[in-house]
Amino acid sequence: MGRAAGDHPALRDMTAVDWPTYLDERSGLPGPRANLPLVAAAATCADDAAIDALLKDGGEYTTMCAAAALGLRSDDAQAEARARTLASDERWRVREGVAIGLQMLGDHAFAHVERIVLDWVDDPDPLVQRAAVATICEPRLLGTPEAAAVAIRACRRATDRLSAMPTQRRKAPDARTLRQALGYCWSVAVAADPAAGMPAFRHLDSDDPDIAWIVNQNLRKKRLSRLL
């Protein structure tokens, strides 16, 4: 997502109980765009007390910030477990916060994110699977063939899980959310290493209506269409 997370002295000097109000006032909400640089700064600066205060507040933006902080700390098992729970939150911004934090972790500890992604993509919950593919399909993380291979593998496994769902189950909101993510994530994974990614993408079963939708959505992305 390309957001740099620098130091934020105001947050670092603030007591935990004051974090929710400070962040809410600068959230950019209500509005079309949340203040994502502030999410990244909060993720960097938050300690355990601040995370707990944000979760206790329960607002969409404050919980998003907490989710990003837990994602960033997911090299710790307890933080990862809490982030995994938030990956299934009904609010899309909270789910996005998890991915933001995990991507920030991947910037300096990719091996941890690789492990998390390949674990989460096999979770029974489609929203956790979505978090896995959304996390890894970030261009800045895919600078090596090895990293691209993780993204391709995650997309393949999530797609297989979607295609294995009964038709009626696929109509549920969580399955639709996973399908939507796969509708762009494949193009990111393939563009990172076309030699490895294109054969996997071409192998997708376009006779399946949902998989055909995923294929068509990705073909519309410039990053993929220019490779064809």
29 vs 223: CA distance, rounded Å: 31
**What share of the chain has pLDDT > 70, as a percent?**
97
Between 1.10.3470, 1.25.40, 2.40.128, 1.10.10, what CATH number should domain 113-228 receive? 1.25.40
Over the stretch 110-140, which tens digit does the pLDDT of each residue have?
Answer: 999 999 999 999 999 999 999 999 999 999 9
Domain positions in the chain: 1-108, 113-228
* Residue 167 DSSP code: T
The pLDDT of 65-79, averaged and rounded, is 98
* Residue 208 DSSP code: S
Instruction: Return the SS3 of 87.
Output: coil
**What share of the chain has pLDDT > 90, as a percent?**
93
Over the stretch 165-188, which tens digit does the pLDDT of each residue have?
Answer: 999 999 999 999 999 999 999 999
HSE-up of 74 (CA within 13 Å, CB side)?
39
215 vs 78: CA distance, rounded Å: 37
168 alpha-carbon distance from chain centroid: 26
Identity of the residue numbered 115 = R
Instruction: Return the SS3 of 38.
Output: helix
Residue 5 pLDDT level (bands cut at 50, 70, 90): low
C-beta pairs of 57-60 under 8 Å, 24+ apart in sequence:
57/20, 59/20, 59/24, 60/29, 60/91, 60/93, 60/94
- Does the pLDDT at position 6 exceed 70? no
C-beta pairs of 108-112 under 8 Å, 24+ apart in sequence:
109/75, 110/141, 110/147, 112/74, 112/75
Tell me the chain's radius of gyration from C-alpha atoms.
18
**What is the distance between the terminal CA atoms of the chain, rounded to a whole angstrom?**
25
Identity of the residue numbered 107 = D
The whole-model pTM stands at 0.95
Residue 225 pLDDT level (bands cut at 50, 70, 90): confident
Residue 30 pLDDT level (bands cut at 50, 70, 90): very high
**CB neighbour list of residue 96: distance below 8 Å, 6 or more residues apart:** 64, 134
